[in-house]
Amino acid sequence: MLFVVTGCPHNDYTVRLRPQGDQIERTLVFYRAESGDIATNKLAAITALYPAGSLTRTGTHYTVRSEFGGQLPADVGGAGTYTQGSNTLGSAGLYFERFRGTDDLAGLTEKRFQAADRLTDLLLGWTWQELWRDPDYPKLRRFLDADFRRDLKNLGTYCWEGQLAGSFDTNGTSEFILRFGQYLLERGYFSIGELPGLYRDLNAGNDAALQHRIQRLAARRLGVPDRQPIPASLAFLADDKSFGRYLATTDLYRAKLVKWRHDVKLDPKTRQPDPEEVAQDLFGELLDYNLFGGSDHLTVQLSLPAPPDRSNGVWDSTNRQVVWQTDIEERTTAAHLPYACYANWTSADETFQIAHFGKVALTGDALNQYCLWRASLDAGQGGEWDAFLAGLQPGAGLLKQIDAFRFPGETNTPPPGLSNCPRELFKAALK
């Protein structure tokens, strides 16, 4: 609660973008919120991407500014592109940038599944150590090794998908919580009648009641009916220290101790790891959950004369900007998908289009498609096409002229030739 109320130190970044033809002006304002100053290595990494002498400082706020074309600098962390093409009918621009995170979905999935497998193996080792004499233990072992192992992997997947959905839909995260709750209900982890009591125990932090529920679940997997008492052999599940004692004997904890013995030589104040951190670390990898790990804040502002045709940002009509705001993970974490910003916009040359077509024929997606097609032509083809457009006049024969145009070597037989794209766009716009 203290963390939520007071916040924690983090870096705040504001990226301001203003297209200038085939270049885009980029201004980055950044500072350390709550306390301290930007780390020297981070400051040096940012300034290295901008012209010498472009860094200024006002109080705690740093500012760098420059113009870029094509590839954008990875100043905040990530990668981005900007492109804008112009022709006689207008222009089209595209901005896309991802911030931090990783696009390696397969790697993220493998990491979560490996964590689930290791957690399951730890539970198998712990329960075997305590229950190997129980003749019904093989039933529990089969459940843990197959169903529970799969369910842990699904928990990690549901959590990841819920986090992703929550970044696009305010109710997305809660929906996936309910989805997984239904998943557990169908697989017998609890009954609908137990839900109020389970909610009460979780809300009150009633560890004894929660441990009793876990004992009852384990008893069911051993084949013990609910009407019978919980076997005495399951008392270890209510012992707060039992799992930690087992973890202290594992190779994973011994590896932590080896690292600690190395680190303590460099810093005598380094704390010896607790055995339970082994499971905590794996659970964190499973859920990609790092609440107290620290995150930075990002705001991106793209100035445009009019709302974009397509974007995942919010249009601010007062300041005429597309705006994105989000928290982003630390540069070194890379446990989630990157935060992505994109915008695609067009601007029609109304004077030229009205003069030669009698109206503004191509706008929005149609103009964007046309600009992409026009940019694909070589110098000779582009000159020939532009000369053809310049000779057009509004009137009854306009569509016939456009429909008759062919580049040298084009035929009227399938497949469609090079000039087919603009012909279809103009036919749809001028009918």
pLDDT in tens, 50-77: 999 899 999 999 999 999 998 999 999 9
pLDDT band at 318 (very low <50, low <70, confident <90, very high): very high
Looking at per-residue pLDDT, the higher value among 49 and 333 belongs to 49
pLDDT at 294: 46
Q: Of 264, 287, 310, which residue sits at a domain end?
A: 287
Q: Is the peptide bond before 51 cis (omega within 30 degrees of 0)?
A: no
pLDDT in tens, 21-39: 999 999 999 998 877 788 8
Tell me, yes or no, whether 256 and 137 share the same domain.
yes
pLDDT band at 289 (very low <50, low <70, confident <90, very high): low
pLDDT in tens, 364-396: 999 999 999 999 999 999 999 999 999 999 988
57: three-class secondary structure by DSSP: strand
pLDDT mean over 261-285: 92
pLDDT band at 4 (very low <50, low <70, confident <90, very high): very low
**Separation of alpha carbons 336 and 100, rounded Å:** 9
Range in 11-15, 124-128, 149-153, 161-165 with the lowest mean pLDDT: 161-165
Tell me, yes or no, whether 226 and 261 share the same domain.
yes
Tell me, yes or no, whether 271 and 170 share the same domain.
yes
Helix (H) or strand (E) segment spanning residue 92: strand 90-99
Q: Quote helix, strand, coil % in the chain, to nearest 5.
A: 45, 20, 30
Tell me, yes or no, whether 82 and 230 share the same domain.
no
Total-model pTM: 0.73
Given a contact cutoff of 8 angstroms between Cβ atoms, the answer to whether 272 and 260 are in contact is yes
Tell me, yes or no, whether 251 and 261 share the same domain.
yes
pLDDT at 329: 79
pLDDT in tens, 41-57: 889 999 999 999 899 99
pLDDT band at 1 (very low <50, low <70, confident <90, very high): very low
Tell me, yes or no, whether 331 and 370 share the same domain.
no
The domain in which residue 275 lies consists of 105-287
pLDDT at 2: 32
pLDDT band at 287 (very low <50, low <70, confident <90, very high): confident
pLDDT mean over 156-165: 79
How many domains does the structure of the chain reveal? 3
Tell me, yes or no, whether 325 and 237 share the same domain.
no
**Separation of alpha carbons 207 and 213, rounded Å:** 10
pLDDT band at 411 (very low <50, low <70, confident <90, very high): confident
pLDDT at 203: 86
For all residues of the chain together, what is the average pLDDT? Answer: 89
Tell me, yes or no, whether 47 and 196 share the same domain.
no
pLDDT mean over 332-352: 87
pLDDT at 162: 77
Tell me, yes or no, whether 343 and 355 share the same domain.
no
Given a contact cutoff of 8 angstroms between Cβ atoms, the answer to whether 259 and 142 are in contact is no
Tell me, yes or no, whether 273 and 136 share the same domain.
yes
Question: SS in 3 state form for 238-272?
Answer: HCCCHHHHHHCCCHHHHHHHHHHHHHHHHCCCCCC
pLDDT at 5: 36
pLDDT at 102: 80
User: Does position 6 have pLDDT exceeding 50, yes or no?
Assistant: no
Q: Of 236, 253, 287, which residue sits at a domain end?
A: 287
Share of the chain above pLDDT 90, in %: 68
Given a contact cutoff of 8 angstroms between Cβ atoms, the answer to whether 230 and 224 are in contact is yes
Tell me, yes or no, whether 131 and 225 share the same domain.
yes
**Separation of alpha carbons 336 and 55, rounded Å:** 31
Q: Of 325, 347, 369, which residue sits at a domain end?
A: 347
pLDDT in tens, 198-240: 889 888 888 899 999 999 999 999 999 999 999 999 999 999 8
pLDDT at 326: 87
Share of the chain above pLDDT 70, in %: 94
Given a contact cutoff of 8 angstroms between Cβ atoms, the answer to whether 155 and 180 are in contact is yes
Given a contact cutoff of 8 angstroms between Cβ atoms, the answer to whether 14 and 296 are in contact is no
pLDDT band at 7 (very low <50, low <70, confident <90, very high): very low
Tell me, yes or no, whether 172 and 147 share the same domain.
yes
